[in-house]
Structures are given as structure tokens and as C-alpha cells.
Amino acid sequence: MKERQYLQVYQKVTRLISMVLDHQQVMDAVVRELPELLAIDAATIRLVDASTNTFVLGAAHGLSLEYLSRSQIDSEETMEMIRSGRPVARTDIGEDQEFADRDAAVREGVRSVLTLPILFQDALIGILRLLTRSERVFSEEEISFSMALAEQLGIAIANGRMFKDMESRVDFLREVQEISALVNSSLDLDLILNSMVEKLPNSMGAKGCTIRLLQPQTNQLELVAAHGLSQGYLERGQVGGEKNIRRALSGETVSVYDVAHDHRIDYGEEMAAEGICSLLSVPLKVGGEVIGIIRILSGEHHSFTSSEINFAETVAEISGTAIQNARTYRKITLLFNQIEESERFVANILNCIRPQLLVVDRDKHLVLANHALLEAVGRTEAEVLGMDYRGLWDHEECQEALCPVDQVLADGESSTSIHQTLQDDGVHWVERTASPMRDEQGQVEYVIEIIRDITAKHRFEEEQLERVKLQGVVELAGTVAHEINSPLFAALGTAQLLEEDIADEQARVDVATIVRNLKMIGELTAKMTRMTGYESREYVGNTKIVDLK
């Protein structure tokens, strides 16, 4: 009867292995069936976590959560025997003073334990433990059956992992294609980062995700995107010193099964409060250089498979390139904005310059013109930019021969010309100055021409010249008047004395005429000394005379 029951359980397990692709169902069936079959109280299956080389719970029946959560499973001696592929039976654990976890076993009421290795292709992938709350000696038949069952479990677990791995690879390949298309469809850095932290947890069945990038100026990690996590958790403090972070920054992917008790985690309590049980830290690389890290956070204890790790590393590599491209694009955009701002600033300065200003290249095509020039020629900026320099001057007073640009292009030296133009309010004087702009080889690359209306200056200079002339005439008139006055006053005095002494009437009349004319000459010299200006007027024939003012 017992052998038939063994056979039935064995057949059920093997049937599950052939029908069910999820090895979890097989493990759950085994830990439920064995207690009744073998008259034991509990059974557990623990699997090897390759990333930490520790055993993590796979399935259990008949034990409290407190007992299952203990850190130490069995003595090191027992675990060493298990790793060598041999089963280990212990009876009356409560009386074994050397058993390291005796207190936990006593609290749970466990007295006897049979620990069996779960092997696949001679490699240890887990352990099967049978526990009783009474002292029990397991028979060779029970141990042999349990070993055979553990061997089938190894096949089921390996097949399930293989199928799940293949299924995951297909799903991950599809996810990689979607994520690659998503992050490469945009150069918006924020959009790429937010898309990644939202997509990765969904693809891997995780709770949340964070991305931290190294800042070039400080070489410090900065949180740039997060999803599925509270603000309080994200603001818990600096994480750059954590061992898992440092290892990720060195280029190594780090998997942590139990964040609450792993020495590579500094904020275990905060993670536990946030509901985080496991994490995967993946370096973000560009051309072999680490630029940041991605952390995928699981809300359940999870041993990340090689497929999941490869998927995360592939996404990180794709995303690293996309992030670098977006950063470069942002820098280029910023640079263009700065250039445009500088151009606007320079243009505003040039447009505030009152003289007309233009710039031509060595082929005499206009590349710049300020508002003053555009207003003078009556054209828009779009019309003149790129125009041939000769076509700009289509009015007679600005002939090309009068412009100094050709001279600069010919000999490379600055040139200036001054000419007259006839406008509605009269003649205007225009000064045109051309200066070279040279390239690195010293050749003239551009010519800057400035056109100024110097009419006011020219008229002022003419007025100054007239003032000098007037001053000379005034001074000459004063000198002449002074020289005339001396003999004039002497002659006038003599004539007045003669007028009083002459008895002859006719002679007195003649002398009176002389006195009158001398007085008129005196009035003229007095007028010359008070002279402030003059103007010429036509006289007889081609003669001109001066009217004193």
C-alpha cells in the first residue's frame, strides 16, 4: 500500500512535469502531497540564488512565516554535505546544543529534519526539507523516494526555468524593440528618461524604477527620473556610497534578493517601508563609459534570471546611447539658442548705429545690412542679403566708382572716399569708409563699409572758415581806421582853425566843405572800428564792393 502511494505521488509529479510548464506548480504540489504521504508535519523547497549564492524560499507548507523568514537555514556542516549532493537527516534538533538555529526550531516545535539536495546535471539548484514536530528517524525507503522526487523536482525546475527563460527572451526581445523604437524616436531627454522608468517595471513585473546620471561637473549621481515610488523615499538621502551603486558604477550589474538584510544596501529600512524587497542595479554605458545607473525595484522577493539581467543590460545600453544623443542635442540646441541670441544682440547694436553699415564677402555679396542702410536704399533685409554689391547702388549719386570696397579687395588696406549728393534740401556731403576683415591666413574675407552723411560737419567747417575770414577783415578794417584817424584828426583840426581865421567868404565856404568831408571820413573810420560783418554786392561792371555791418 505504501509503495503504491509512493508510486501515485511520483506519477503525479512526473505528470505535472510533462504537462505544466510552470515549475512553481510542481513545487507547490510536492510540499502539499508529501506531508500526508510520509506522515510528516511540513515541507519546504528552497532554490539557489546564483547572484548571492544563498537559498531563497520557493515553496512551503505547514510552517509559520517567522520560521520561514529566518536568515540561517541549517548548520554550515549540513549545508556543505548538501552541496556535495548527499541527503542529511537530523533527529531531536531541540536537544542538539550545537545546532545554530535551535531556538527558532524549538519555538516552531520542529524536532526532526530531512534535508535533500535538488540536483540538475550534477549541479545543486535547491534543497527539499521534510520536517516533523515529533522525533522521527527516516527510513532508507523514505529517503530513497524523497531523493527520487527531488531529482524529478530538479528536472521540473530546470525545465520550467528553461521554458520561462525562452518565453522571457521572446517577450524581452519584443520589449527591446519597442523600447528601442521609443527612445530613438525622440531627442527630448526628459521624454526618454520618463519613458524608460515607466516601461522597464511593466516589462519586468517590478514595483518601480529610478535613473541616476553622473553629472560631468561634479561627477556625482543625480536622480533624473523615477516611477512607482513615493517622494519621501526618493528624498531619503545620498545613495552614491552604497556598495551596489559603486559596483554598478564600475560597470557591474548587481542583483539583490533581500534588500532588508543585504550588506550592499544602506537604506534597507526605508526600502522595506516602501515595500521594496529586491532590486537590480544596471550600469548605463556609452562606448564602455558609465554615465549613470538604472535601478529596477521589485515589490516581491525575486531572484533576477539571466534573461531578465540580459534584458535590463540591453535596454540600458540602448538607453545610454539615446540619452547621450539627447544630451548632445540639448547642448547643440542651447548653443544655437546662444548663437541666435548673440546674433540678435549684435543686430540690435548694429541697428542702433546711426550711420549706414553693410558687410560684403570677397565675392561682393551682401551678408549684413543695418536698418539705416535699408531705409536709405528703400529695401528690406530679405531683398538685400545675398545681393550683388553692384546692384545695391542703382541711383546716380552712389556710383560704384565712388565706393571704396573695390580698393579694399584689391590691396587689402582700408579706404575712404568723400563725394557730394544732390538731395531735396540741397547738396549733401557723404563719407564712405571700407575696412577689411581677414581670415586665419590673413586674406580679406569680408569688407565692412560705413556710410556717413557729413553735411553738417562740412557746413560747420565752412562757417568756421568764414569766421576766420571775417575776423581778418574786421581786424584789417580796425587797423586801417586807426591809421587813417591820426592824419585825419590833424587835417580836421587845421581846417577848422583856418575856417575861423579866413576873411574871404568864398575861401571860408571851401574850407567848410573840407571840414564837412573830413568829418564824413571820421564817421567812416568810426564805422570801420565797430564792424562785425560784411557782405559783397555788385558794383559798376564786374567790380564788387563791400557793405559793412
Write the DSSP symbol of residue 388: B
CB 145 within 8 A of CB 173: no
- Sorted by where each begins, the domain ranges of the chain are 2-166, 184-331, 353-453, 459-548
pLDDT of 90: 84
Q: Which of 76-80, 278-282, 506-510, 511-515 has the highest mean pLDDT?
A: 278-282
pLDDT of 7: 65
Whether the model clears a pTM of 0.75, i.e. scores above it, the answer is no
Measured in residues, the chain has a length of 549
Q: Is the dihedral of CA 336, 341, 345, 347 positive or negative?
A: positive
377: its cell numbers: 536704399
Superfamily of domain 2-166: GAF domain (3.30.450.40)
CA distance 350 to 532: 46
Question: Does the structure show a pLDDT above 60 at 460?
Answer: yes
Among the ranges given (52-56, 213-217, 226-230, 392-396), the one the predictor scored with the smallest mean pLDDT? 392-396
The percent of residues above 90 in pLDDT, for the chain, comes to 4
* Mean pLDDT (the chain, rounded): 80
pLDDT of 99: 66
Q: How many CA atoms does the CB half-sphere of 536 hold within 13 Å?
A: 9
pLDDT of 42: 92
Spatial strand order of the sheet with 208-214 comes to 221-227, 208-214, 289-298, 278-286, 254-256
CA distance 252 to 95: 46
Give first-to-last CA distance, the chain, whole Å.
154
434-453 pLDDT tens trace:
899 888 888 888 998 888 88
Average pLDDT over residues 26-31: 83
Alpha helices in 184-230 (DSSP H): 189-204
pLDDT of 11: 66
128-185 pLDDT tens trace:
889 999 888 888 888 888 888 888 888 877 777 777 666 666 565 667 667 677 666 6
- What is the CATH topology of the domain spanning 184-331? Beta-Lactamase (3.30.450)
In degrees and rounded to multiples of 5, residue 514 shows phi and psi of -65, -45
497-508 pLDDT tens trace:
777 777 777 877
319-360 pLDDT tens trace:
787 787 777 777 877 877 777 777 677 666 666 767 888 888
Question: Does the structure show a pLDDT above 50 at 396?
Answer: no
pLDDT of 397: 47
What lies within 8 Å, CB to CB, of 57 at 6+ separation is: 44, 45, 46, 68, 301
CB burial of residue 405 (10 Å; 0-12, 13-18, 19+) = buried
| CATH topology agreement for domains 2-166 and 184-331 | yes
- Alpha carbon dihedral 110, 116, 117, 118, in 10-degree steps, equals -100
pLDDT of 8: 65
251: its cell numbers: 560597470
| Number of other CB atoms surrounding residue 520 within 10 Å | 9
Q: Is the dihedral of CA 399, 403, 406, 411 positive or negative?
A: positive
Question: Does the structure show a pLDDT above 80 at 457?
Answer: no
Q: Which CATH number fits domain 353-453: 3.30.450.20, 3.40.50.300, 3.90.220.20, 3.40.50.2300?
A: 3.30.450.20
Strand, coil or helix: 279: strand
255-307 pLDDT tens trace:
888 888 888 888 888 888 899 999 999 998 887 888 888 999 998 888 787 77
CA distance 507 to 25: 165
pLDDT of 61: 92
pLDDT of 472: 75
